[in-house]
Amino acid sequence: MSLSEFLAQYGYLAVFAGALLEGETVLLLAGFAAQQGYLSLPWVIVVALCGGVLGDQACFLLGRRYGRRLLERFPSLAPGVQRVDRLLLRYHSGLIVGLRFLYGLRLIGPLAIGMSTVRTARFVAFNLIGAALWAPLVGGAGYLFGHTLVTLFADARHIEEIALLTLLAGAAALGLWHRHQRRQ
């Protein structure tokens, strides 16, 4: 299976799955793939927006329903929850909108907000606003990165697979490093 066939078959599913979690890297890569003609940028943005909203809503509802039990079972989450609580007191609505842009708080943030007194409807509204800003900004950055590569290397078609594989390897390394940092 070639890279173009793989992206055509699984690209949007990968964007959705990545956006459910911490999807910046996947969304950047999807924007790059859109610039190369493998995916459609508007669809990448829509799929990422949906995945991002659903992932944050799921974490919010988990926090609302099982938050305290999760903290008892996973005490390593407590510092992140405390950090979000402090930020929530200070920046309330802005925190909900900007949470997906804050490194390390993408998953714990909605969980912590779910444990707070923030109403569900309020979280939904500001979560949608945040996702509506995040998806085009990050996807567009990947698209612009691809455009810049094409501009810098006029004959970039022969290196696109190498570039995509290098980006995927870098994303995997970054993800492993991030996971390692969270565990410590």
For 65-108, the pLDDT digits (tens) are: 998 898 888 888 888 888 888 888 888 888 899 888 887 777 88
Q: Treating both helix axes as pointing N-terminal to C-terminal, what angle do 24-35 and 160-183 enclose, rounded to 10 degrees?
A: 170
Q: What are phi and psi of 47, to 5 degrees?
A: -65, -45
> Looking at the predicted structure, is the pLDDT value of residue 144 above 70?
yes
Q: Is the pTM of this model over 0.85?
A: no
Higher pLDDT, 165 or 31: 31
Q: What integer pLDDT is reported at residue 3 of this predicted model?
A: 62
Report the alpha-carbon distance of residue 161 to residue 119 in Å, rounded: 46
Where do the structural domains in the chain lie, given as residue ranges? 3-179
Across all residues in the chain, what is the average pLDDT? 84
Q: What integer pLDDT is reported at residue 18 of this predicted model?
A: 86
| Length of the chain as a residue count | 184
What are the CA-CA distances from residue 128 to residues 12, 53, 81, 122 (Å)?
Answer: 20, 6, 21, 10
